[in-house]
Amino acid sequence: MIPSFNFTRIPQIIFGAGKLHELYDFALKFGKNILIITGKKSLKESGKMDEITSNMNNKSVNSFHCSISGEPSPTLIDEVVNNYRNKNIDLVISIGGGSVTDAGKAVSAMLSKHDSIKNYLEGVGNKTHDGTKIPFIAVPTTSGTGSEATKNAVISEIGPNGFKKSLRHENFIPEVALIDPQLMISCPPSISAACGMDAFTQLIEAYVSTQGTPLTDALAMNGMKYISQNLLSACSSGGSSIEVRASIAYASLLSGITLANAGLGIIHGLASAIGGLFDIPHGVVCGTLLAEATKMNIKNLNEVGYGGKGGLRKYGDIGKLFFEGEGKNEVYHSRLIETLETWSKELKLERLGKYGITAEDVGSIIERTGLKNNPVNLNKSDIKEIVLNRL
């Protein structure tokens, strides 16, 4: 019996090598005044920014360009919005990594407002956004967050009273997600590793989520297959391969679709807490915690008995991606954990301690951490162990 479920809409998806050229005709459908948001330098250094500007000029588009660095803060979004609110912007385009996509999504949502984005963030502000926005196109240049397919923009304020919260509405899903693997070729191995592990984390957590459905399960498993076969290559000798980059970009897209519909688990609960307290890339947090959190979830699922069989089966399904031949769930679980631990070493995933996190900080992190849709309940001692093992 297929259970009842709801499925959030997805953007129009344009996927494939060389598809960037289709951006210009799509942009014209929305108007002539276009705000392009990018990262600080990678697009410029690759020569793509000059190409984009030239093509926009050839289309007689009145384009504005804004570059950002790091994960978007309320201050940054407010500043960009204030600078362009009176420019009669018809379309916002983000071309960059997950942070750039989130920034573009937030700017498109706030151009019609006259107060701070902070007032509309979940768990921070006291206002509810009505969904009014400027049309938005997302063009990712990394493969990690899948933000090009989600309805939320993650905004961070870092410090002792910091937060990492979402601006969320169904209308914030981009009108178009244009995914061109050629844009990922220049992504360095360290960023490819962190982003790829973020995507894999999202796929795993969506697959074992208590809110998963047969549809999200199918999409998540398909994405994990491509990650399992291509991630190490994308971060090494295969980084210049369009086929490899396309595989990871596709998996990242699916991770965004599945997280938007099935939710996530303890790793993203920790990432939200840690990201508000410390200046640490989101992909690094997720990637470095994945093996330990997976091990802890499997341990606790085994302890709850019959009630944990669904989660154990699903972790077994994932483990089969790394195991040739037949075996029992326990074998697949071991193989999965071993693979994740090996990847952590081979991909040189940084430990949390590199970003100033100490054992004394763990208590504060745990107090801010929610389980989200984790497949099994974890107590504070379990969560503490996950974090301490990656300091």
Give percent of the chain with pLDDT exceeding 90.
90
What pLDDT score was predicted for residue 71? Answer: 93
What pLDDT score was predicted for residue 56? Answer: 86
Q: Is the pLDDT of residue 133 over 90?
A: yes
Q: Is the pLDDT of residue 47 over 80?
A: no
- Chain centroid offset of residue 196 CA: 10
Q: pLDDT tens for residues 159-198? A: 999 999 999 999 999 999 999 999 999 999 999 999 999 9
Please determine, looking at this structure, whether the domain spanning 12-184 carries the CATH number 3.40.50.1970: yes
Tell the burial category of 355 from Cβ atoms under 10 Å away from its Cβ (0-12, 13-18, 19+): middle
Q: Is the pLDDT of residue 21 over 80?
A: yes
Q: Is the pLDDT of residue 43 over 90?
A: no
What pLDDT score was predicted for residue 327? Answer: 84
Count, residues in the chain? 391
Q: Which CATH superfamily is domain 189-388 in?
A: Dehydroquinate synthase-like - alpha domain (1.20.1090.10)
CB 329 within 8 A of CB 301: no
* Delimiting residues of CATH 3.40.50.1970 domain(s) in the chain: 12-184
Give the span between the Cα atoms of 276 and 355, in whole angstroms: 13
Q: Is the pLDDT of residue 46 over 90?
A: no
* 50 pLDDT tier (thresholds 50, 70, 90): confident
115, 69, 66: which is closest to 89 by C-alpha? 66
CB 347 within 8 A of CB 288: no
The tokens of 284 are what?
């690094």
What pLDDT score was predicted for residue 106? Answer: 98
> Taking all residues of the chain, what is their mean pLDDT, rounded to a whole number?
95
pTM of the model: 0.96
Q: pLDDT tens for residues 70-125? A: 899 999 999 999 999 999 999 999 999 999 999 999 999 999 999 999 999 999 99
Phi and psi, residue 107, nearest 5°: -65, -45
What pLDDT score was predicted for residue 196? Answer: 97
* 49 pLDDT tier (thresholds 50, 70, 90): confident
* Delimiting residues of CATH 1.20.1090.10 domain(s) in the chain: 189-388
Q: Residue 346 corresponds to which amino acid?
A: E
Tell the burial category of 15 from Cβ atoms under 10 Å away from its Cβ (0-12, 13-18, 19+): middle
Mean pLDDT of 33-47: 86
What pLDDT score was predicted for residue 58? Answer: 83
Q: pLDDT tens for residues 141-155? A: 999 999 999 999 999
The tokens of 133 are what?
């926005």
Q: Is the pLDDT of residue 278 over 80?
A: yes
* 3 pLDDT tier (thresholds 50, 70, 90): confident
